[in-house]
Amino acid sequence: MMEVFEQRLLLSWLSNFSVRVDRYRWAQDGYTRFVLDEAEHLEVDLGDENRTITNDIIVEALRSAVAVRESAEPSVLELNLRAVGELLQLSEQEHVLMGALVRAKVSPLFEDLFETLELDEIRAGDSTVMGVLATLLGLTRGELLDAMSPRGRLLGSGLFTIDYRSDCQPLPALTRFLQAQAEPLSDVRAALLGDPLLHSLEWEDYEHLREDRDLAGNILSRAASLQEHGIHILLYGAPGTGKTEFCKTLAAKLGLKLYGVGMADERGQEPSRDERVGSFRLSQKLLENQTDALLLFDEAEDLLRAEGHDEFLAERPGGYGSRVFMHKLFEESRVPTLWTVNDPSALGPSVLRRMTFAIEMKVPPARVRERVWARLLEREHVDIPRDEIRRLAEDFDTAPAIAAGAVRSARLTGGGSREIRRAVTSIAKVMRGAEAPPRPNNAVAYEPQLINADLDLANLATRLSGLDTRAFSLCLYGPPGTGKSAYVRWLAREMGLEVIQKRASDLLSKWVGENERNIAAAFAEARDAGAFLVFDEADSLLGDRRHASQGWEISQVNEMLTWMESHELPFACITNLMSHLDEAALRRFSFKVKFDFLKPAQRELAFRHYFDIEAPAGVREIDSLTPGDYAVVRNRAKLLGELGNGAELKKMLEAEVAVKPHARKQIGFHSPLYPPLSS
């Protein structure tokens, strides 16, 4: 049942209108019908039901009903509205207007009255609507227009939105918390803002962003304490890279409260653009004098999209679609704000140049991913061996959000690492549009003695690990399977570096200019992570420009050469086709190392290393063997149950050599690419 105070307010509005109803003849019938329909419910005494009800009778009955309720205590809704008004320092007229617009949304009787008088769309530019509303509320037209001024405290607060048609509507957050309160609010600011966002990752989980992370923290800390205007940090990167979680962790590290902006409407659904603008303005208003607060505007593309990126926004006439309005909002904001987007190019230069600082969020390196995996597994109570956690981190360069979903699926199904791997692979496949090639699974430990190279690689590793500089490069070439990639991974471990490995398929694109951007991004990723960068199938990236038939082939090589000269961390290029590389590229490598087939003594050592049994007679005589051949045979023998059968293992090795292209060219001459080896 409607509270007595709310009854008195509705009756007083009806009384205001009844006195001047003759000004609005078109509304008189609807108004009279409303009074007659609700008279019993509102306890309005209209006298003998058989007599003709005139407007004079209605006026007198309404005044009497108001007088009876004159001493009614303010309702909970009214007390909460007054608290909001005090917080925002609203004028009396603004308070009256706010109460009317809110009640038209939350109270059925008030809503019916507004619909009857055709006030369900309040437009400041509609003189008829303004006249009816002013009369109803007991205000002059001038007082009402002042209360509705966009520069006033009410609409300037963001509590109400005016969309591109000039319709004025209360912010969903306002109606939501007012409807939910059965008692007067003790903290209006908290009710409007919601709870601060909590973090689940740690500061150390962002070591790969150390410089950017620390600088952003210093900017925000100083800006909050000094109440500096117009401070905005942009977080951008692919979906799932942890932009939102980073913002939460950053705020926690700084000891600041982080509030989300416009994350849901009154139904818990996705809010409109105007609602998000209103939420941002309201949050700025409520926190403008606070020194311990930050705002987070997540998925900001829908608000900040540049011209040409959104047909709907491009067609909107003025209002909140105005670029000038948004730019002014940026420059005048008093609370430092974090913005997250997937694609910063959608924002346009006019928005980007108003950002104070920008951070590209990338997939964290393996050492960080291992900590994240361990924490997620512990949180979900999924128990897998520590070695398997390390393998998950090494095998999947996945973002924390994807890892969290995979661990949750394992917990729900009672599964383990197998289920986690399948879940991660399924999401990675759908995000990339194709299944990513698996990372090498080194079931057998790396053995430096099984590398046949024209340089002492163990000594090279010792020398490189002891250098003050890490600006060196390697070109490793030779037949497939000779251990080129394995050596780089081993060297990186010896130097305490993570490996970032890029295949040609990771970088090459059908779009003009995309190859160059991908190459630059690969070097930048390695630089930011402090990692050892490895390019597999380097002949596809550094092909001889003399044989180029397309302009992009030349620009692609030029991009690689430019980065090779300036990169200050180790990187290696691996190829099976050394003769295909551009001559200028060859001059830029610190070391060019040729890998060859195993020597006779190494063939026996490899047999013991991979199969854990002594080599049978004749293994030394099998030419053209590589460590990769032993790995393939080991896997096959394991499937067939032949790992302990030396004679069968020898036959499998011979079969591997027999199918190699050069094996059919052994009579009378040798392959010019791979000359015969001495023992």
Instruction: Give the pLDDT score at 124.
Output: 60
Q: What's the whole-number mean pLDDT along residues 22-38? A: 80
Kindly give the residue spans of alpha helices, DSSP state H, lying in 20-166: 25-38, 55-68, 76-88, 92-106, 108-116, 127-137, 141-147, 153-156
Q: For residues 162 and 125, what is the distance between their CA atoms, to the nearest angstrom?
A: 12
Q: What is the pLDDT of residues 562-589, one digit of tens each?
A: 888 888 899 999 998 888 888 888 888 9
Tokens of 633: 């045979």
| Confidence band, pLDDT 50/70/90 cuts, at residue 399 | confident
Q: What's the whole-number mean pLDDT along residues 481-508? A: 87
Residues 219/231, Cβ–Cβ less than 8 Å: yes
Q: What is the pLDDT of residues 425-439, one digit of tens each?
A: 888 777 665 444 455
Instruction: Give the pLDDT score at 315.
Output: 39
Q: What is the pLDDT of residues 284-294, one digit of tens each?
A: 888 988 899 99
pLDDT reading at 667 higher than 50 = no
The amino acid sitting at 404 is: A
Highest-confidence segment of 458-467, 483-492, 557-566: 483-492
Q: Phi and psi for 152 in degrees, rounded to 5?
A: -75, 170
Write down the residue that tokens 């905005």 correspond to: 232
DSSP class of residue 120 equals S
Q: What's the whole-number mean pLDDT along residues 344-364? A: 87
SS3 assignment, position 98 = helix
pLDDT reading at 65 higher than 50 = yes
Write down the residue that tokens 């309201």 correspond to: 282
Average pLDDT, the chain: 83
Instruction: Give the pLDDT score at 678.
Output: 41
DSSP string, 148-168: T-TTSHHHHTTSEEE-TT-BE
Q: What's the whole-number mean pLDDT along residues 605-618? A: 94
| Confidence band, pLDDT 50/70/90 cuts, at residue 234 | very high
Instruction: Give the pLDDT score at 328.
Output: 81
Give the β-pairing of 452-453 and 591-596: antiparallel
Instruction: Give the pLDDT score at 587.
Output: 86
Tokens of 115: 């619909």
Q: For residues 607 and 637, what is the distance between their CA atoms, to the nearest angstrom?
A: 13
Instruction: Give the pLDDT score at 335.
Output: 93
Q: What's the whole-number mean pLDDT along residues 634-659? A: 93
Q: For residues 388 and 99, what is the distance between their CA atoms, to the nearest angstrom?
A: 61
Choice among 154-163, 494-503, 609-618 with the minimum mean pLDDT: 154-163
Write down the residue that tokens 């005044």 correspond to: 63
pLDDT reading at 273 higher than 60 = yes
pLDDT reading at 644 higher than 70 = yes
DSSP string, 337-384: EEEEES-GGGT-HHHHTT-SEEEE--PPPHHHHHHHHHHHHHHTT---
pLDDT reading at 355 higher than 80 = yes
Q: Most distant CA pair in the chain: distance in Å? A: 126
Q: What's the whole-number mean pLDDT along residues 283-307? A: 84
Residues 644/614, Cβ–Cβ less than 8 Å: no
Q: What is the pLDDT of residues 94-142, one digit of tens each?
A: 999 999 989 988 888 998 888 888 786 776 666 778 888 899 999 998 9
Residues 600/608, Cβ–Cβ less than 8 Å: no
Instruction: Give the pLDDT score at 214.
Output: 95
Q: What is the pLDDT of residues 180-219, one digit of tens each?
A: 666 776 778 887 888 899 987 888 888 878 889 999 999 9
DSSP class of residue 272 equals P
Sign of the CA dihedral running 127, 129, 130, 131: positive
| Confidence band, pLDDT 50/70/90 cuts, at residue 266 | very low
The set of residues, in sequence order, having a beta carbon less than 8 Å from that of 60 and lying 6+ positions away, is none
Q: For residues 183 and 190, what is the distance between their CA atoms, to the nearest angstrom?
A: 15
Residues in the chain: 679
List the beta bridge partners of residue 591: 474
The amino acid sitting at 28 is: Q
Q: What is the pLDDT of residues 505-562, one digit of tens each?
A: 778 776 767 788 888 888 888 887 788 999 988 888 887 777 666 666 677 888 888 8
Domain 448-594: CATH superfamily is P-loop containing nucleotide triphosphate hydrolases (3.40.50.300)
CATH class of the domain whose range is 194-305+321-360: alpha beta
8 vs 314: which has the higher pLDDT: 8
Q: What is the pLDDT of residues 307-352, one digit of tens each?
A: 554 433 443 444 444 566 677 888 888 999 999 998 888 888 888 8
Angle CA 365–436–500, to nearest 5: 30
pTM of the predicted protein model: 0.64
Q: What's the whole-number mean pLDDT along residues 11-26? A: 84
Instruction: Give the pLDDT score at 182.
Output: 66
Instruction: Give the pLDDT score at 275.
Output: 77
Q: What's the whole-number mean pLDDT along residues 135-164? A: 82
Q: What's the whole-number mean pLDDT along residues 12-37? A: 83
- The dihedral over CA atoms of 363, 368, 372, 378, expressed in degrees to the nearest 10, equals 160
SS3 assignment, position 39 = coil
Of 410, 406, 397, the residue nearest 424 (C-alpha): 406
Which part of the chain is CATH 3.40.50.300? Answer: 194-305+321-360, 448-594
pLDDT reading at 249 higher than 90 = yes
Q: For residues 389 and 441, what is the distance between their CA atoms, to the nearest angstrom?
A: 14
Instruction: Give the pLDDT score at 49.
Output: 66
| Confidence band, pLDDT 50/70/90 cuts, at residue 449 | very high
Q: For residues 669 and 479, what is the distance between their CA atoms, to the nearest angstrom?
A: 18
Q: What's the whole-number mean pLDDT along residues 630-635? A: 94
Residues 526/561, Cβ–Cβ less than 8 Å: no
Residues 232/218, Cβ–Cβ less than 8 Å: no
